[in-house]
Structure 1
């Protein structure tokens, strides 16, 4: 009967789960305290160097930076909390007692999986409600080097839009009185993916049925000639909002807002694969907490008196840190377009879940 129940003992599950949560959050508190202090030592000078800044601005920086540190190091804390918990249970022969009672390795780890799932849920909610907003505010503040943030004038620069096979580039996009005006416009006209001509114009404004290009000219690639066109109407079917979409940074938006922004950008013909990877990593990132008990499980099994407990703990740490390296590498490859969004977000998670399960089965089950 014990083998068919995921939690054979409610008392044991509560004991192990509580031990895991207390140690994980205790490690997180210590890490955040140390890292926030070190980070503040490096940034406080820059903040106070700006005229008018004082203690309130330093505390504002702490309030914005602290959520980022918590988000970054929560999975590390869960990993270290897992290894410390399992090593302690092994050292005190409590794992041996559980095994002697008929519990399998998965049943021993079950309370940790449940507690880690709770941590993942808290992490996701924390990232959505606090971290995204703090990241956006801190990024805007750091762009002006901790000075007063100027009011957004609505001018966008170097905007690219795709219209069918054609690519449109505008040096600046300005919205005045509900009218969208472009300056320094280039339309790269392509046929079958091959450049055929380039339409240039000093400016363009949205009108009914298209865009009115001023002082336009067209360079014909095949003949190498330039034709002066004056004022013409072109780029029919291209919507003004395709140019006014703000540049989207995935880590500054919650999941649903980012998903909506990706849909808008995709409709505007903008590249979105990197943002899709960030979108799905908002789920796979917090869920990495569930992997930590599996990767750290090598510290739980095997005789502590054999002298290999320390080696097992180091192996568990190595597996956990290898996952974080692979995760960051996959995201970087996703940004470069080398990996698909799904592979960038979920590839390391699935790979290390299989590795952890294989090690657990081969060593204990």
Structure 2
């Protein structure tokens, strides 16, 4: 059998794909609208609490939160879109007509599988190019209580590093390695766990094995005296990666950037298992859309007049939501170190792929 013969006719394939995509993206729009409305009910008061914030900041929040909700809604929408499409075709006896023409269950589902693969590719690109940037910016904005946005999107912000007994807090970090630049540096000079002095500076750069901060000022806790220090060296022996990799947010980094961060962490001997699981999930997550036609296919087969169409639809939804539960559970186990990263990201996908195939073969009988 050739690839062309595996699909129904071109007209039927386009009809099924259009029916599926129309329902899927309609459900996406509805879910996102409801979730965004509920989210605004809880966050709008926090946004408006900052002096000067108004309607513009509310719309800015919508533009940053919206992409994350769209990415969240797509897999569920593909599942519901599949079930609605197949129920409609079953009720109209279209599935029976396709089966009577000699098509197998896999051939009937082929247009939906190809369309869902297109949705998965679109979802990955959307997540990698838009959702990660919006998530990183929203996280930085929430860190400053929805005040003025940080200068550069994607830079690390509010990083804490321990230097012996001292603590160093940096408002923002740009660049990597020896080219890293620190903005808004605060050093908490401690002795025996007690705070002795606070040193503040507007900027810092790498100098040898230390960090040179300019226009530093020292506040002595005991005397309450403020002293201008000028340019001084601090944090001798603290590596650049301790600043740049102190907070790696997998949700806020695209695939390539996250992989580069994992490589840097691995070279510095730091644990990366949770981040590796998140990296693999950036692939398996969008690809889960391809599973939904298989899991929802139980609604396509069987006679509509048998009175079990609703039960079949419920079974399809139960299989789909069971996958999402298993996926979140595996990721949690991966973050705890109980599962290897690859297994945590791909085991639910492979398991439910086999379950979907088994259910499809069983229902075809």
- TM-score w.r.t. the length of structure 1 is 0.78
Change beyond 3 A, Cα 1:179–1:318: closer
**Quick check: 1:43 aligned with 2:43?**
yes
CA-CA distance at 1:241 after TM superposition: 2.6
Matching of residues 180-219 of structure 1 within 5 Å: none
Change beyond 3 A, Cα 1:313–1:177: closer
Change beyond 3 A, Cα 1:172–1:92: same
Query: How far apart in 2 are the matches of 1:178 and 1:3?
Result: 53
CA-CA distance at 1:91 after TM superposition: 0.7
Matching of residues 268-347 of structure 1 within 5 Å: 268-347=268-347
Q: Is the 8 A contact 1:124 1:286 kept in 2?
A: yes
- The CA deviation string for residues 52-72 of structure 1, in whole angstroms up to 9 with x for no partner, is 101100000000000010000
Q: Secondary structure at the match of 2:339?
A: coil
Q: CA RMSD in A?
A: 3.3
1:241 equivalent in structure 2: 240
Q: Secondary structure at the match of 2:146?
A: coil
Q: Number of matched residues? A: 316
Change beyond 3 A, Cα 1:245–1:310: same
Change beyond 3 A, Cα 1:306–1:39: same
Query: How far apart in 1 are the matches of 2:160 and 2:8?
Result: 62
Where structure 2 has 5 or more consecutive residues not aligned to the other structure, the ranges are 191-205, 211-236
2:81 equivalent in structure 1: 81
CA-CA distance at 1:85 after TM superposition: 0.2
Q: Secondary structure at the match of 2:6?
A: coil
Query: How far apart in 1 are the matches of 2:104 and 2:87?
Result: 17
1:96 equivalent in structure 2: 96
2:160 equivalent in structure 1: 157
Q: Is the 8 A contact 1:274 1:337 kept in 2?
A: yes
1:121 equivalent in structure 2: 121
Query: How far apart in 1 are the matches of 2:181 and 2:300?
Result: 66
CA-CA distance at 1:172 after TM superposition: 2.9
CA-CA distance at 1:242 after TM superposition: 3.3
Q: Secondary structure at the match of 1:5?
A: helix
2:218 equivalent in structure 1: none
2:216 equivalent in structure 1: none
Q: Is the 8 A contact 2:140 2:150 kept in 1?
A: no
Where structure 1 has 5 or more consecutive residues not aligned to the other structure, the ranges are 161-167, 186-205, 212-237
CA-CA distance at 1:239 after TM superposition: 7.8
Of residues 168, 175, 198 in structure 2, which corresponds to 1:172?
Answer: 168
Change beyond 3 A, Cα 1:275–1:2: closer
1:264 equivalent in structure 2: 264
1:56 equivalent in structure 2: 56
- The CA deviation string for residues 145-173 of structure 1, in whole angstroms up to 9 with x for no partner, is 2122466898842459xxxxxxx997437
Q: Is the 8 A contact 1:2 1:102 kept in 2?
A: no
Q: Secondary structure at the match of 1:145?
A: coil
Q: Is the 8 A contact 1:327 1:348 kept in 2?
A: yes
CA-CA distance at 1:49 after TM superposition: 1.4
Query: How far apart in 2 are the matches of 1:159 and 1:353?
Result: 46
- TM-score w.r.t. the length of structure 2 is 0.78
Q: Is the 8 A contact 2:140 2:157 kept in 1?
A: no
Q: Which runs of 4+ in 1 moved over 4 A?
A: 1-4, 149-155, 173-185
Query: How far apart in 2 are the matches of 1:14 and 1:45?
Result: 47
Query: How far apart in 2 are the matches of 1:15 and 1:63?
Result: 33
Q: Is the 8 A contact 1:3 1:104 kept in 2?
A: no
